[in-house]
Amino acid sequence: MNIVKALGAEIPALGFGVFRMSDAEVEAAVPAALEAGFRHFDTAQIYQNEAALGRVLRSARVRREDLFLTTKVWVDNYSKDKFSASVDQSLDKLGIDRVDLLLLHWPGDKVSIADQISLLNEAQEAGKTRFVGVSNQNIAQTMESIALSRAPIVTNQIEVHPYLDQSAVAAAAKAAGVAITAYYGMADGAMPRHPLLQKIGARHGKSAAQVALRWLVQQDYVALSKTAKPERVAENFAIFDFALTEEDMAAIGKLARPTGRLVSPPGLAPVWD
């Protein structure tokens, strides 16, 4: 497994995300993910499956220190009376004393970045997480978070796939030493069906989905994969035994389009770069 290093954190370059997965799907897919070699798992309070993920991981024969667990605090909990308690609830559901990475899920438009970062720092200083980060922030918000945070902001988790040019955000993050964690890498199912990725995959003996994930990790992003089908999990993990050529990378990058963004909920999303 490749590692992405960021300001003291060592994050497995490929994670298994459980967004939009029911408890039953988590309980079926995560054992297959562990068997395939996944050790980085990404969940969130709003996914409502932290408890299911925790049950599976506790029952697995994997040492806690070999796992990298991320969860995210939902925007409704960005207040003094809710933030810490919500993290305690997440830890209780996951069955652990602390997560490896705690993220602010969305910047929203109701609570200042300064107040959000203060709450995040308090959780880290209380020992509830090893590292802290943000998610879905634009460049200005990320820079503000870095400036305000007492602990290093190790990642910004954002939507990244070939249809969406995130080079400006990625360059700003890299200059600050911050890792980009990429979600929605399959563009909501479009990438596995894309003729270009299928063609490139055929040359490498890989699927289009594997090409999409490889395109992410080859840019030094942390890539979050996801499937609810246990039989597909091993395929998602098998992306470290080949490399895309410079021509492959460039051709895939040219798929970006102005309408490529798929996730931008009103009231939660910032003004994007």
In whole angstroms, give the CA distance from residue 158 to residue 135: 6
Cα distances from 98 to residues 64, 131, 245, in angstroms, run 11, 10, 40
* Placement of tokens 């902001």 in the chain: 153
For residue 227, name the pLDDT band (cuts at 50, 70, 90).
very high
For residue 222, name the pLDDT band (cuts at 50, 70, 90).
very high
b vs e for 208-236, b when ≥16 Cβ sit within 10 Å of the residue's Cβ?
Answer: bbbbbbbbbbbbebbbbbbbeebebbebb
For residue 1, pLDDT beyond 90: no
Q: Where are the domains of the chain?
A: 3-253
pLDDT in tens, 173-200: 999 999 999 999 999 999 999 999 999 9
| Residue 230 CA neighbour count, 13 Å, CB half | 11
Catalytic positions are: 47
What pLDDT shows up at residue 61?
Answer: 87
Angle CA 71–170–148, to nearest 5: 60
What pLDDT shows up at residue 104?
Answer: 99
For residue 74, name the pLDDT band (cuts at 50, 70, 90).
very high
pLDDT in tens, 125-156: 999 999 999 999 999 999 999 999 999 999 99
Q: Are 214 and 239 in contact (CB under 8 A)?
A: yes
Whether the predicted model's global pTM rises above the 0.95 cut: yes
Question: Is 105 one of the annotated binding-site residues?
Answer: yes
- The CATH fold assigned to 3-253 is TIM Barrel (3.20.20)
What pLDDT shows up at residue 108?
Answer: 98
pLDDT in tens, 167-179: 999 999 999 999 9
